[in-house]
């Protein structure tokens, strides 16, 4: 791909979120309203639908935790009993006609329904790093993506300037450029990206990051498939796969050390950190989102049950009001 292509791919990654480079720019106030408005200008508005990750498929299943998790968290998620899960798989961005071959992130959002009515959310994407350390970078990316009135397309010069001035956007853009998108939602890992705090029975906390690793294995689209596949195939493939039998992902924790960045999802942790398998997600069925249970869920990542707490990551905290605005608009049919 040429330089402009790389930039465009990176821009599309803005379907997901971002912040600003550390330093003076990071101090600038950014509101969730500004970011949702910028999404609407970049992608258009489809009344009643999500402003981001608009294309999606509902799914249902269960999660069973392993005893290894209880050393870190007292969450009922890890009781060892099956916990019902309402899932949604998605394509980043707010354009309902975006092709499933796009070099953008794929999402997996999980709502765990714990005994007694408590909820735990995990709203993840399939890149191991996020495209922003601060909300300002996310906003600036969306602004750089606005279609130029003269051409109806984003201005490559603006995109270039965005990349040059926001180094925290580069690692995710590089990942999306170097890895073809998955052949199926079933053939991808999904990453929580932010640092969370696991809280044990004695109130001790451990910084962790989590990811879900597919038992079906990771399989990217070939270069040939990228050119020839139709715009819509992810939903059909997921539904067909669940009809053949249950689909599973292992939930794997990375245990952080005090020196690891805990408030910056644009930076990975060193590869030698301890990894612990803490449970298995099983998906039994999938269905188009229209009128299905996941359609009306706001997968706000700050919905957490006792035993799991947020870090101070500014991007994580910025997500909550942004999702609320998008949710309120679509719930009102706007």
With binding defined as CB under 6 A, does residue 323 bind ligand HEM?
yes
What residue number has its CB nearest to ligand HEM? 17
Half-sphere exposure of 172 (CA within 13 A, CB side): 39
Map residue 78 onto helix, strand or coil. Answer: helix
326 lies in the binding site for ligand HEM (CB under 6 A): yes
Do residues 65 and 279 lie in contact, with contact meaning Cβ atoms separated by under 8 Å?
yes
What is the nearest approach in angstroms of ligand HEM to the Cβ of residue 53?
3
Residue 317 bears catalytic tag: no
Q: What are phi and psi of 258, to 5 degrees?
A: -55, -30
Kindly tell me which of 74 and 208 has the beta carbon lying closer to ligand HEM. 208
Given a contact cutoff of 8 angstroms between Cβ atoms, the answer to whether 51 and 262 are in contact is no
Q: Residues of 10-20 as b/e, b for ≥16 C-beta within 10 angstroms?
A: bbbbbbbbbbb
Using the contact rule CB under 6 A, the part of the chain among 46-54, 73-81, 167-175, 209-217 near ligand HEM is: 46-54
The DSSP 8-state label assigned to residue 46 in this structure reads: -
Nearer to ligand HEM, 12 or 74 (CB): 12
52 binds ligand HEM (CB under 6 A): yes
Interactions with ligand HEM, residue window 181-220 (CB under 6 A): 193
Q: Which residues contact 268 (CB under 8 A, 6 or more apart)?
A: 128, 129, 171
Q: What angle do CA 202, 208, 210 make, to 5 degrees?
A: 125
Q: Rule CB under 6 A: choose which of 7, 14, 16, 144 binds ligand HEM.
A: 16
Candidate segments 73-81, 166-174, 302-310, 316-324, binder of ligand HEM by CB under 6 A? 316-324
279-308 residues in contact with ligand HEM (CB under 6 A) are 298-299
Select the span of 12-20, 169-177, 196-204, 273-281 touching ligand HEM (CB under 6 A): 12-20
The verdict on 35 binding ligand HEM (CB under 6 A) reads yes
- How many residues touch ligand HEM (CB under 6 A)? 32
Q: Does 265 bind ligand HEM (CB under 6 A)?
A: yes
Q: Where are the alpha helices (DSSP H) in the chain?
A: 3-12, 32-43, 135-144, 156-165, 170-178, 223-228, 234-244, 314-331
Please tell me the total number of residues recorded for the chain in this structure: 334
The residue (of 36 and 176) whose beta carbon lies closer to ligand HEM is: 36
Smaller CB separation from ligand HEM, 53 or 163:
53
Q: What is the contact mask toward ligand HEM in residues 124 to 153, using x (rule: CB under 6 A)?
A: xx----x----x--x---------------
Q: How far apart are CA 252 and CA 187, in angstroms?
A: 16
Active site residues: 53
């Amino acid at each position: 791909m040429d330089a402009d292509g790389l930039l465009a791919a990176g821009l599309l990654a803005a379907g997901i979120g971002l912040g600003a480079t550390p330093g003076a720019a990071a101090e600038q106030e950014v509101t969730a309203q500004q970011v949702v408005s910028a999404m609407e200008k970049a992608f258009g508005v489809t009344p009643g639908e999500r402003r981001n990750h608009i294309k999606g498929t509902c799914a249902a299943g269960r999660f069973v935790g392993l005893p290894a998790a209880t050393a870190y968290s007292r969450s009922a998620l890890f009781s060892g009993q099956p916990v019902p899960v309402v899932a949604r798989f998605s394509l980043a961005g707010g354009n309902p006609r975006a092709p499933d071959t796009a070099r953008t992130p794929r999402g997996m959002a999980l709502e765990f329904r714990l005994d007694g009515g408590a909820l735990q959310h995990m709203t993840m994407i399939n890149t191991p790093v996020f495209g922003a350390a601060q909300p300002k970078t996310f906003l600036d990316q969306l602004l750089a993506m606005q279609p130029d009135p003269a051409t109806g397309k984003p201005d490559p010069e603006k995109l270039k300037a965005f990349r040059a001035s926001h180094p925290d956007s580069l690692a995710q853009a590089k990942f999306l450029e170097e890895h073809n998108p998955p052949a199926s939602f079933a053939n991808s890992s999904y990453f929580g990206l932010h640092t969370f705090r696991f809280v044990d029975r004695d109130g001790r906390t451990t910084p962790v990051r989590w990811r879900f690793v597919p038992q079906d294995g990771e399989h990217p689209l070939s270069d040939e498939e990228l050119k020839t596949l139709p715009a819509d195939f992810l939903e059909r493939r997921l539904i067909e796969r669940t009809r053949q039998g249950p689909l599973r992902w292992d939930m794997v924790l990375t245990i952080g050390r005090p020196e690891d960045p805990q408030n910056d999802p644009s930076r990975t942790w060193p590869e030698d950190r301890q990894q612990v398998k803490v449970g298995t997600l099983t998906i039994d069925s999938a269905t188009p989102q229209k009128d299905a249970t996941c359609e009306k869920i706001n997968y706000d990542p700050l919905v957490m049950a006792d035993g799991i707490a947020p870090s101070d990551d500014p991007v994580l905290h910025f997500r909550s009001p942004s999702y609320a605005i998008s949710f309120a608009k679509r719930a009102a049919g706007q």
